[in-house]
């Protein structure tokens, strides 16, 4: 059984073939729980959920919601992005009070990692790109 389709079916409460924002939120929570990281859902505020919902809708109409095909495209990307970046954060051992942090260059384009850095390190002012001399201001990475 395709676990992505199963997750979609379990969260499509009214069985209309689309996930509304609230159904998508339940799916997001289920995905994190299945990965063994239920507590990470607490890091998602309404804006972050809206952003993921918009990404999942892709070129579709947000009024309709997320179709099964769109969900199939979104979930692997979310898993490789968000879950990977959270593991990287743990690996880097970033202190909550850190002002600067070094991040591997290939990770610097990740919106998930940047958002997690901002959430976990309120005092963070710059992110050094590991292997390069200059550091990227956090505002540049967030925008």
Instruction: Decide if domain 3-82 falls under CATH 1.10.238.10.
Output: yes
Q: CB neighbours (10 Å) of residue 25?
A: 19
pTM of the model: 0.68
Which pLDDT value is given to residue 16?
Answer: 94
Tokens read off for 108:
């610097």
Partner residues linked to 103 by β-bridges: 129
Pairing verdict, β 18-19 and 100-104 = unpaired
Mean pLDDT, residues 16-40 taken together: 92
Q: How confident is the model at residue 108 (pLDDT cuts 50, 70, 90)?
A: low
Q: Where are the domains of the chain?
A: 3-82, 100-142
Helix (H, G, I), strand (E, B) or coil at 66: strand
Which pLDDT value is given to residue 117?
Answer: 72
Q: Over 50: is that where the pLDDT of 132 sits? A: no
Q: How confident is the model at residue 65 (pLDDT cuts 50, 70, 90)?
A: very high
Q: Over 70: is that where the pLDDT of 122 sits? A: no
């Amino acid at each position: 059984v395709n676990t992505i389709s199963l997750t979609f079916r379990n969260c499509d409460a009214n069985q209309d073939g689309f996930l509304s924002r609230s159904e998508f939120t339940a799916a997001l929570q289920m995905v994190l729980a299945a990965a063994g990281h239920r507590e990470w859902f607490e890091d998602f505020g309404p804006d972050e959920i809206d952003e993921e919902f918009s990404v999942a809708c892709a070129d579709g109409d947000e009024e309709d919601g997320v179709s099964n095909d769109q969900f199939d495209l979104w979930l692997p990307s979310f898993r490789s992005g968000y879950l990977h970046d959270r593991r990287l954060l743990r690996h880097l051992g970033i202190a909550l009070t850190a002002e600067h942090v070094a991040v591997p260059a290939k990770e610097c384009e990740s919106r998930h990692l940047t958002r997690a850095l901002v959430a976990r390190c309120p005092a963070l002012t710059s992110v050094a790109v590991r292997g390069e001399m200059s550091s990227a201001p956090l505002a540049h990475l967030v925008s």
